[in-house]
């Protein structure tokens, strides 16, 4: 029976009321036929209408055809609060709060793809409830330098780890009918002057380091959208880049989704038409800024594009391809009648945030079993540091959130230890005393007019009488720290924290440092403190998760997704002077050559035999594990398929999880290759005394390198070694094999 809505639509289309539902609205019809039908009904104006924004975060639909508007929203850590239609200021709504999930560095540190899927699904449910069709995330740019202000939104330095984590995130998000928009494609590895940076990189490094996570998101996760980056590659802006978009993404990877510009990333009508951009957002064209009523009509892909078609300078071939992709996106999202309604700030979402936070926290150092803290043997704890009380969900750029709940580390500890242990607090240092971004405020005023000397003296005096001291320091989400738009200006801790930690460690050797950050920092005092914990930006459940790990309710199982160097010049980009690049005055661009090539992170330290402060993949637990001898068997010699098996046993006194890591070393390569490369990992949770078998299947792609002379991946015959490890520097076993 024909519904009332269908009758109305049929009348609008000028057909008999009793006619069948138009093919493009029939969910039982093949998708590509539905797209053909819808496209055939659209006028030139309607086609132009859907390929650019109509507001800060939405693109227009086609009311005549019953195609709804399309709504995007910033992620990737939660659904961003709504802004006004044509301004960046808050809309002032009272129902646009959210669950703040841990930052993606924390998710990557879980080394648990199942949690990535849960994260994506939970975020999608919140997006649906808020009426959003696309989340602008996740981000998978590579951690090349610890100065990048946006590293906290990404998944670390290793392309394999990022690939294995991004696929389930995308699948979880899109399982609910919400599009993932994977960003920022590609080579967006620093924030300072991000609109001017022209990256010069070898084809090998491009394909081996900087593209694999994007390729996995597209070819395995089947992402429905990709966001271009602000920077340039081969002297073309990446939001309309012929090589990245047309050749690699849409041809080589057969991407059938939509390429979305970053906000303000479009610079040319002709290049946007020809070089693969499908939807344009955030452009300020022809000098138009905020509030201009015709700004959106003057976008590069709006009236200028339509005029170019009318004048015969372009055919409609490129336009039809863009609209086809957008219609396909509609079929997957706004026209999917099976999409659920979603839910907002549910207990299941807070549970998901808690699980990710607990599994992502990394215990970096634990001398003499300092942690966990035993309430039975502890009378008084001194908590020190601004980051113990500062709310971190607000700020940092486009991922800033309006969280319904956020528990501080100090409150989390006090709640957990209430009635058991006295928890005192000393400020220690003053950093960013505000707490607002883009119209959202934490409501905190952390103003303190005491001098650094007075703050340190107070903390030291209180530390002498404490059973242990926990310093919550690190970075925050202010400009030039972990924040979009700027890079950090130094590797060291801000606000005089080094002086504070040194003084506290001297006053009380039972000092624990908890770093709240998305980046590594210099720790010249690391050998003086008893324990070091990497606490990330954990979102709504910050206090509860940190307390659970510090007190021992949870045995930490996080592992670093990047190498933590002792000094800045131990990173390849800085050792070679390959950051931040050189100004080219004639074009107002910065040429930034990736001179370290494929040797990023642990690949660099391995090649230079440099010992990091904390290795990639490193993380301690409250139990111990032993590894059995790895064994290699051949599954298919001709196809290059092998199987590695080993056992792992929990030899400690409590339940815990170990991340077993597989690295591959090519012993006979004709080209320079890293000493080893991560090609597999398993997170195994065991009871005391329990043993499990761990299996890794090795295939030819894991043995391959990108041959830039042939333009393809290639595996050379010869000897290889499979390396089983607990981190990039903690080798537990080796097994040799040969590719015939």
C-alpha 476/C-alpha 478 separation (Å) is 6
C-alpha 163/C-alpha 155 separation (Å) is 9
- Report whether the peptide linkage leading into residue 415 is cis, meaning its omega lies within 30 degrees of zero: no
End-to-end distance of the chain based on CA atoms, in angstroms?
64
For residue 184, how far is the Cα from the chain centroid?
A: 10
| CA Rg value for the chain | 27
- Cβ proximity of 602 and 563 under 8 Å: yes
- Cβ proximity of 541 and 407 under 8 Å: yes
Q: Which residue has the tokens 């700020």?
A: 395
Among 215, 258, 217, which Cα is nearest to 239's? 258
Q: Which of 73, 74, 262, 606 is catalytic?
A: 262
Q: Look up residue 450 and give its two tokens.
A: 């005491």
Neighbours of 310 (CB within 10 A): 10
**DSSP summary character for residue 335:** T
Q: Look up residue 436 and give its two tokens.
A: 């607002």
Q: Look up residue 432 and give its two tokens.
A: 């960013």
Give the residues across from 94 on adjacent strands: none
Q: Look up residue 243 and give its two tokens.
A: 């090589």
Q: Which residue has the tokens 């989340």?
A: 135
C-alpha 664/C-alpha 652 separation (Å) is 29
- Cβ proximity of 397 and 485 under 8 Å: yes
Q: Which helix (H) or strand (E) holds 358?
A: helix 347-360
Residue 81 makes CB contacts below 8 A (sequence gap 6+) with: 90, 91, 93, 96, 97, 98, 401, 402, 439, 440
Question: What's the 3-state SS for 39-77?
Answer: HHHCCHHHHHHCCEECCCCEECCEHHHCECCEEEEECCC
Among 52, 258, 213, which Cα is nearest to 561's? 213
CA distances from 196 to 189, 199, 239, 265 (A): 13, 10, 13, 11
**DSSP summary character for residue 611:** P
C-alpha 48/C-alpha 56 separation (Å) is 17
Active site includes 262? yes
- Cβ proximity of 142 and 186 under 8 Å: no
Catalytic residues: 262
């Amino acid at each position: 029976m024909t519904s009332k809505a269908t009758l109305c639509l049929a009348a609008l289309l000028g057909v008999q009321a009793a006619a069948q539902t138009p093919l493009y609205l029939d969910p039982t019809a093949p998708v590509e036929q539905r797209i053909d039908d819808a496209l055939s009904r659209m006028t030139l104006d309607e086609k132009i209408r859907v390929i650019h924004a109509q507001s800060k975060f939405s693109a227009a639909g086609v009311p005549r055809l019953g195609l709804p508007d399309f709504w995007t929203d910033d992620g990737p850590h939660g659904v961003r609060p709504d802004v006004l239609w044509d301004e960046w200021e808050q809309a002032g709504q009272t129902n646009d709060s959210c669950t703040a999930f841990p930052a993606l560095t924390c998710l990557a540190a879980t080394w648990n793809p199942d949690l990535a899927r849960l994260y994506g699904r939970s975020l999608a449910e919140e997006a649906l409830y808020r009426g959003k069709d696309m989340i602008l995330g996740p981000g998978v740019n590579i951690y090349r330098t610890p100065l990048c202000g946006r590293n906290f939104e990404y998944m670390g330095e290793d392309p394999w780890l990022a690939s294995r984590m991004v696929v389930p995130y995308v699948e979880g998000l899109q399982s609910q009918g919400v599009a993932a928009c994977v960003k920022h494609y590609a080579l967006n590895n620093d924030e300072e002057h991000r609109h001017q940076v022209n990256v010069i990189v070898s084809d090998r490094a491009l394909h081996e380091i900087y593209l694999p996570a994007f390729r996995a998101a597209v070819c395995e996760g089947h992402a429905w959208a990709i966001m271009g980056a602000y920077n340039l590659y081969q002297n073309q802006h990446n939001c309309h880049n012929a090589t990245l978009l047309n050749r690699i993404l849409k041809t080589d990877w057969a991407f059938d989704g939509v390429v979305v510009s970053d906000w303000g990333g479009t610079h040319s009508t002709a290049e946007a038409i020809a070089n693969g951009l499908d939807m344009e957002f955030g452009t300020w064209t022809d000098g138009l800024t905020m509030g201009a009523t015709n700004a959106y009509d003057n976008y590069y892909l709006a009236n200028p594009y339509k005029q170019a078609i009318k004048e015969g300078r372009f055919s409609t071939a490129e336009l039809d391809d863009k609209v086809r992709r957008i219609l396909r996106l509609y079929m997957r999202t706004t026209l999917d009648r099976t999409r659920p309604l979603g839910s907002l700030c549910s207990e299941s979402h807070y549970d998901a945030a808690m699980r990710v936070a607990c599994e992502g926290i990394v215990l970096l150092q634990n001398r003499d079993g300092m942690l966990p803290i035993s309430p039975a043997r502890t009378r008084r704890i001194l908590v020190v540091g601004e980051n113990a009380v500062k709310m971190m969900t607000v700020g940092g750029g486009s991922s800033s959130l309006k969280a319904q709940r956020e528990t501080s580390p100090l409150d989390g500890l006090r709640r957990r230890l209430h009635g058991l242990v006295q928890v005192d607090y000393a400020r220690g240092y003053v950093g960013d005393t505000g707490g607002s971004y883009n119209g959202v405020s934490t409501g905190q005023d952390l103003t303190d007019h005491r001098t650094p000397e007075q703050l340190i003296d107070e903390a030291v005096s209180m530390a002498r009488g404490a059973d242990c001291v926990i310093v919550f320091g690190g970075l925050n989400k202010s400009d030039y720290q972990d924040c979009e738009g700027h890079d950090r200006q130094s590797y060291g801790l801000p606000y005089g924290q080094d002086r504070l930690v040194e003084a506290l460690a001297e006053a009380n050797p039972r000092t624990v440092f908890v770093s709240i950050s998305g980046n590594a920092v210099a720790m010249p005092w690391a050998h003086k403190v008893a324990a070091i914990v990497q606490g990330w930006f954990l979102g709504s459940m910050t206090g509860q998760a940190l307390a659970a790990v510090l007190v021992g309710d949870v045995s930490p199982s996080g592992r670093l997704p990047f190498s933590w160097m002792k000094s800045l010049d131990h990173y390849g980009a800085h050792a070679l002077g390959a950051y931040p690049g050189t100004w080219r005055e004639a074009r107002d661009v910065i040429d930034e050559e990736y001179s370290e090539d494929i040797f990023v992170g642990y690949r660099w330290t391995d090649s230079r035999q440099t010992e990091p402060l904390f290795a990639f993949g490193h993380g301690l637990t409250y139990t111990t594990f032993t590894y059995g001898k790895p064994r290699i068997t051949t599954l298919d010699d001709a196809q290059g398929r092998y199987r590695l098996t080993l056992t792992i046993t929990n030899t400690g006194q409590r339940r815990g999880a170990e991340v077993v890591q597989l690295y591959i070393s090519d012993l006979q390569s004709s080209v320079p290759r890293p000493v080893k490369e991560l090609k597999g990992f398993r997170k195994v949770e065991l009871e005391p005394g329990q043993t499990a078998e761990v299996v890794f299947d090795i295939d030819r792609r894991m043995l391959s390198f990108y041959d830039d002379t042939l333009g393809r991946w290639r595996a050379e015959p010869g000897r290889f070694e499979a390396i089983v490890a607990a981190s990039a520097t903690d080798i537990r076993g080796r097994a040799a094999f040969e590719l015939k």
